[in-house]
Structure 1
Amino acid sequence: MLVFLYIYTMVTQNSLLIKLTLNRLSFIALSLLTTLFCIPVQSQDLEPRFLSSIPTGTNVAIASYGYSKGNILLDNSAPIEDLNASLNNAIFAYAHSFKLFNKLTKFDVVAPYSFAEFTGALNKIDTSTTRNGFGDPLLRISMILTGSPPLKPADFVKHEKEKFKLGVFLRVRVPVGQYDSNKLINLGSNRWAFKIGMAGSYTIKKKLIFEAHLNSWLFTKNNNYFRGNSSFQKPIYGAQFHTGYIFKPGVWIAGSIGKTFGGKIEINNVEQEIDVNNSRYGLTFAYRVAKKHTLKVVYTNGFSTRAGTDFNTFLLVYQYVWFDKK
């Protein structure tokens, strides 16, 4: 499961940025930058095999390391140039499957910790900074509506796998990550965020899998934004498509593409001109090294980025699985 492979690319500013007197153009541009740093976490997560069937009573513990490097694109009128970021991310997660309303249901929680370095030029002045700390945790509940009944391990092994699956999910981003309203860019967002979506998949000859997702992020208002201001972001909409091939149980590969758009920003109830319109692709390889142990390698990059982060990202994921006692 790639639910936990979120690229936490949010960084902070140098004290120089705090001390500068921002004119309206600078404030709008930097406000946009602050919000865009949250977008990779919320909207560009490519997640192949989201609808994988597992028995009820399954527990999954995950530890992953991610490295991201790239630039951040803003409007040409912004006073910030040559924005770049280098990020090392540790992500820890836990998931559990169970039966709810006679449907296979999963609950997962994700806790990120980021080490980030940010460099750029503000009004032709070079500046750089680092930020280490916890980001906002994420909680999710998902349900497969059709195509995978809730079965215990003994019955799951005997069950003939169905070709078509349809599922829904709700994810919540809890605003308890590192946040300081005196700083322009933080690891935490200081706002609630809710992701709703649905996914469908079709399997051919138990080997080839086609999967599609539709989702939307909804946000609450941040009333304690930088320097006593407020910020609000309109919904971000996303779609992603995956093609996977299963070599044998526990060994598979998948290619992914994703598109996000929308998400216009309001600063003090004034709508800004730039919104999100980005496309990404990814490749995932999973290999079960032992009965309960799996390793995954992930690479993602951008097709096109109009505004926001344009990163190359590598991920190494370790996954341990166990079942509830009978």
Structure 2
Amino acid sequence: MMEALQDFRTNQKSGQHPTSANVWVYILSNNQFFVKAFWLLLICVGFSGSANSQELEARAYANLPKDLNAVALGYAYTKGSVAVDASLPIEDFTLTAHTYAFRYVRTFGVAHKLARMHVTVPYVDLAGQAKVIGQDTSIARNGLGDTRVQIGINLIGSPALERKDFVKYTQKTIVGITLTTSIPTGQYYTDKRINLGTHRWAFKPEIGASKKINQVYADAYVGMWFYESNPAYLETKILKQEPLLSTQAHVSYYFKNQSMIGIDGNWFKGGKVSIDDIPSGRRIDHWRVGATCAVPFAGKHVVKLQFHTSVYSGNGTTFDVLSFGYQYVFF
């Protein structure tokens, strides 16, 4: 291993292109690179199975080397008032959702700043009981959910660095922006109140900041969801939704053995729905808290476990989420 590492460094000085084998030996033998690149990426591609856009994702603005790729697979078990618009005439409902998701991440440079793109495609198996207009109803759905595409750039404190330069980088304070787009690719029945897709586009501009203090990372984001109208709700009705405020806060601790634990929280406010311009139900006012842990193995692989639950809901919708994620990193 030491001979391969020396070859890598010699090739760097001579301008020769190192072999892929030597690159990986260098990466795995350099603890600083491993912790920064692979661990920070793990949190960036974390998977959440929460409903109503109420995600929890730490380290979303972490700095990473440019030209980095990652693929992630996730599973989430969700139980409660999930995947249902709380303002609709549905009551006494308890649903269980098994969500499977694929995500791809790519980092790149824009004007010497680090930028990234995420694409997430979920598949959902949903079942349970609900009361619709006073009548008990069994519900079963399975199919694709809405695709999400996220594009972001770190504006302050996060230069676009090559791998060799990233090793020497030390984070202080990072500020970035993102735009998340929800694309209506999910399964949708125009005659059903409960669906896996929303049959409308949605957009969330967001600003976020990350601060490193020794082995602790603190993150906070504020965004706003904006929704297009759904012109095919119950076939002939038009469903509209007001903007929804979205906030998140996270504190993550990294151990010297490269393991990580963190606590997470978010709050959502607004999003009142109207049907044919008639107000329906109450505005969303939802607080959630959770915890995350993650463990690496074999250099290029990481597994992650996350749990979060509702602690307050002003409109009566509560749910619990337990999720598991796996990722593979490559350049």
- The answer to whether TM tops 0.5 is yes
Counterpart amino acid of 2:322?
Answer: F
Q: Distance in 2 between matches of 1:141 and 1:132?
A: 28
Q: Distance in 2 between matches of 1:308 and 1:174?
A: 27
Q: SS where residue 61 of structure 2 aligns?
A: coil
**Which residue is equivalent to 2:182?**
173
In the TM superposition, residue 114 of structure 1 has moved relative to its aligned partner by 0.3
Q: Distance in 1 between matches of 2:146 and 2:305?
A: 24
5+ long unaligned stretches in structure 1: 10-38
Measured on the aligned residues, the alpha-carbon RMSD in Å equals 2.1
Q: Is the 8 A contact 1:4 1:93 kept in 2?
A: no
**Which residue is equivalent to 2:307?**
299
Distance 1:196 1:249, change over 3 A: farther
**Which residue is equivalent to 2:6?**
none
Q: Distance in 1 between matches of 2:144 and 2:96?
A: 17
Q: Which has the higher contact order (CA 8 A, sep 6+)?
A: 1
Is 1:242 equivalent to 2:242 in the alignment?
no
Q: Is the 8 A contact 1:74 1:308 kept in 2?
A: no
Quick one: which of 187, 190, 199 aligns to 1:190?
199
Q: Distance in 2 between matches of 1:101 and 1:243?
A: 30
Is 1:212 equivalent to 2:220 in the alignment?
yes
Quick one: which of 293, 310, 318 aligns to 2:318?
310
Q: Distance in 2 between matches of 1:110 and 1:224?
A: 25
Q: Is the 8 A contact 2:229 2:239 kept in 1?
A: yes
Q: Distance in 2 between matches of 1:81 and 1:225?
A: 18
In the TM superposition, residue 141 of structure 1 has moved relative to its aligned partner by 0.4
In the TM superposition, residue 54 of structure 1 has moved relative to its aligned partner by 1.1
Distance 1:309 1:248, change over 3 A: farther
Q: Is the 8 A contact 1:250 1:294 kept in 2?
A: no
Distance 1:107 1:149, change over 3 A: same
Q: SS where residue 50 of structure 1 aligns?
A: coil
Counterpart amino acid of 1:236?
Answer: L
Q: SS where residue 223 of structure 1 aligns?
A: strand
Q: Is the 8 A contact 1:92 1:110 kept in 2?
A: yes
Render the CA deviation track for 1:220-275: whole Å, top value 9, x for unaligned. Answer: 11112213000110100021111111113742111011110011111112233511
In the TM superposition, residue 80 of structure 1 has moved relative to its aligned partner by 4.4
Is 1:258 equivalent to 2:266 in the alignment?
yes
**Which residue is equivalent to 1:27?**
none
Is 1:111 equivalent to 2:153 in the alignment?
no
Q: SS where residue 180 of structure 2 aligns?
A: strand
Q: Distance in 1 between matches of 2:60 and 2:281?
A: 34
Q: Distance in 1 between matches of 2:86 and 2:199?
A: 25
Q: Percent identity?
A: 32
Q: Distance in 1 between matches of 2:104 and 2:201?
A: 21
Give the number of equivalent residue pairs.
288
Is 1:274 equivalent to 2:279 in the alignment?
no
Distance 1:123 1:139, change over 3 A: closer
In the TM superposition, residue 111 of structure 1 has moved relative to its aligned partner by 0.2
Distance 1:247 1:75, change over 3 A: closer
Q: Distance in 2 between matches of 1:141 and 1:50?
A: 11
Q: SS where residue 286 of structure 1 aligns?
A: strand
Q: Where does 1:66-85 land on structure 2 (aligned, <5 Å)?
A: 66-71=76-81, 80-85=90-95
Q: Is the 8 A contact 1:8 1:135 kept in 2?
A: no
Q: How does the TM-score come out when normalised to structure 2?
A: 0.82
Quick one: which of 201, 204, 207 aligns to 2:210?
201
Q: Distance in 2 between matches of 1:148 and 1:290?
A: 28
Is 1:7 equivalent to 2:49 in the alignment?
yes
Q: Is the 8 A contact 1:143 1:167 kept in 2?
A: yes
Counterpart amino acid of 1:222?
Answer: N
Q: Distance in 2 between matches of 1:249 and 1:148?
A: 25
Q: Is the 8 A contact 1:276 1:308 kept in 2?
A: no
Distance 1:140 1:259, change over 3 A: same
Q: Is the 8 A contact 2:125 2:142 kept in 1?
A: yes
5+ long unaligned stretches in structure 2: 1-42
In the TM superposition, residue 74 of structure 1 has moved relative to its aligned partner by 9.0
